[in-house]
Every structure is written in C-alpha cells, then in structure tokens.
Chains A and B, each alone.
Chain A
C-alpha cells in the first residue's frame, strides 16, 4: 500500500494532490475525533471568534494533510527547499565532544529535518513502538543517512538504555517534547496562560546527563519550502533534579508557545492538550 502510494507520488504533481485533499477535508472534519479539540484550541487558546476558529480548523487539517503528502513526496524523491537560519547552533553542538538532545514537537514537519540537519554524530530517535516496518525505513531514509537509529519505546525499557548510551557516547538523542508516552510522569508548565502537562522524560534525561537541548521546528513556509527553526535551551537552574526539570520544561513550553503563535495552523496535537 505505502509503496504504491510512493509510486503515485512520483507521477503526480504535488499541487494536484493538495487539490484532492482540499475537497476531502470538509468530510473529514465532520467525522474526525479531533475536531472539538482543534476548534477549542483556536477559540479558547488563540482567542479567535467562532467563524475564524472554524476556518482555522480547516486550515489546520489542510496543513496537516500537506505535511503527510510532502513526506510521501519526499520519500518518492521530490525536492524541497530547506532554509536553516541558525545552522550555527546545530554546528556548534555537532562539533562539541558530548552528545545532545534534539527535541521535536508535533508542530510543522519534524521528519523533513534530515534534509537539512546532517550530522556526523549518529541520531537515536525515540519512536512509538508498533509502527510498520516501511514507515520506519522511510523515516530512516528521511532523516537523511545511514546514521539514524530508531529506538522504539519498549516494555523492557531498552529505549532508556539506548538513549542513555547514546548521550554517554557523544551521540544525538531525538525525542518529542510535547507528548507523554513511555513514562507517565509529567511536569506542569504554563502554556497559553494555563498549566498543561509536558512529559518529564526528555527534560529529566537532559538534566541527568547534563546534555544540552536543541529544540527543532521544521515549519512549512510555501509549497516546496520549509524553514528549520532552531533554539538552544539555557542550562538548567536549580540544585535538585525536580527544579532543573521544571526549568527546562518551562523554557521549552515558552519556545513552543512562541512558535505556535507564529504558525497557529501548524499545531498538530489533535486532543485537549491541557487535560
């Protein structure tokens, strides 16, 4: 199925695929589970009126669809322009001795990152277990090279060892900062004016290992254009672990909020994030 799709993407122009999607989305909006959460986000968090919110739900679904189509198009070999204004932040960390954490978010299209951030250090990317082998392989391709290892979250906690080893050996650990999976532990951070639960895992890992965090957003800027926004979080303040973890999570939440405010249609957490 996925292979057929990729073949299709080689033949059809991207614009035609976007067009088909634009027609399908209204039906999707009617039945999708995420509608309420998405609408609520624009109403309550962004403060838009009802009509504007509805319009943004459409744009949000459309943008998400584009990201998925672009991903397949990229697997199929189509090229996108990738701009990285702060490449120096990435270079600096790559040139350093130690490992670092690359923090992804459900915003924009993180998987396109492989086209622009090519590192000599191996990348160990934490992923949900149970994704199909093809998705995994394609992802590895997208991440750009042979030095990407997928680390599935596992019952036996092998992912914990893998991430720890990665940082201890001076490699890159890539994990999402805005989704609680694996450990259920969370940190409450102010996000759009109200406390929201963020996963404790990534920030604990950073604090424990003293690893720097590079926050990465890959934002869609045009039909064939992406911009990679990089931000390095400050060193954690505080003497006890909990304070350090809170500090890092707060710093991330505020960076995330700024990006979501700038690109409100590219926020892809289709559930009530604050619950």
Chain B
C-alpha cells in the first residue's frame, strides 16, 4: 500500500502540476479539496477522474463516488487497490 500511495502522489504532482512538491510534502490523510490540504478545485477533479481512468481503468461516473474516493490520498489508494482493472 505504501508503494501505491507513493505512486498516486507522484501522478498527482505530475497531473496537477504541483511544482516543486515531493510525495513527502503531501500528507496521506489530508483532505484534497477545500481550504486545508491541497485545496484543489473543480478542474483538478477532472484531472483526478482522468488519472484514475487512464492509469487504473477506474471510471467514476458521479459526484457521490468522487466525494467518497477523493477524500485523501490514502482513501484514493484503498479505492484503487480494491477496484483497479489494470
């Protein structure tokens, strides 16, 4: 799981263009959206949806799923581990 968390962080940094950040700078449990944590917005959600689809074959079809999955990097990793098709 550690490895998957790290991999997801690297993909996040790349996809969201978080210049100068390293995986160590992202707290596994910090919220991805809102004022705390990474403070991502709606365009970033799109980036995350595409990231899951392209890399892990997971298609999130509605905001309820998104809300559940995009809570934190740790939650994302759990979800990916359980649902990945590639």
Q: A-side interface residues toward B, CB under 8 Å?
A: 156-161, 163-165, 168, 182-185, 200-201, 204-205, 208-209, 240-242
Contact = CB atoms under 8 A, between A and B. Distances in A.
A158 B49 CA distance: 12
Contact of A183 (B42, B49, B63, B66): B42
Contacts of A163: 46
A92 B50 CA distance: 25
Most chain A beta-carbon neighbours within 10 Å: one of B43, B49, B60: B43
Contacts, number: 50
A242 to B, nearest CB: 6
B45 A160 contact: yes
B62 A158 contact: yes
B49 A164 contact: yes
Contact of B49 (A159, A160, A241): A160
Contacts of A158: 62-63
Interface in B39-70: 41-43, 45-47, 49-50, 53, 59-63, 66-67
Contacts of B46: 160, 163-164, 204-205, 208
A165 B53 CA distance: 11
A204 B43 contact: yes
A161 B66 contact: yes
A168 B52 CA distance: 13
B15 interface: yes
A168 B37 CA distance: 29
Contacts of A160: 42, 45-46, 49, 63
A240 B60 CA distance: 24
Main secondary structure of the interface of B (DSSP, over half): helix
Interface string B5-21: 00000000001010000
A165 B46 CA distance: 11
Interface residues of B, number: 18
A165 B41 CA distance: 18
B45 A241 contact: no
Given A156-B63, A161-B61, A241-B47, 14 more contacts: A156-B67, A157-B45, A160-B46, A160-B63, A161-B49, A161-B63, A163-B46, A164-B46, A168-B59, A183-B43, A185-B43, A240-B17, A241-B15, A242-B17
A59 B86 CA distance: 58
Residue from B41, B42, B53, B66 with most neighbouring chain A CB atoms (10 Å) = B42
24 contacts: A158-B62, A158-B63, A160-B42, A160-B45, A160-B63, A161-B60, A161-B61, A161-B62, A164-B50, A168-B53, A168-B59, A183-B42, A183-B43, A185-B41, A185-B43, A201-B43, A204-B46, A208-B46, A208-B50, A209-B50, A240-B17, A241-B15, A241-B17, A242-B17
A273 B62 CA distance: 34
Contacts of A200: 43
Q: Give 6 closest A-B pairs by Cβ, nearest first.
A: A183-B43, A183-B42, A156-B63, A208-B50, A158-B63, A183-B41
Contacts of A157: 42, 45, 63, 66
Contacts of B50: 164, 208-209
A208 to B, nearest CB: 5
Nearest to B43: A183
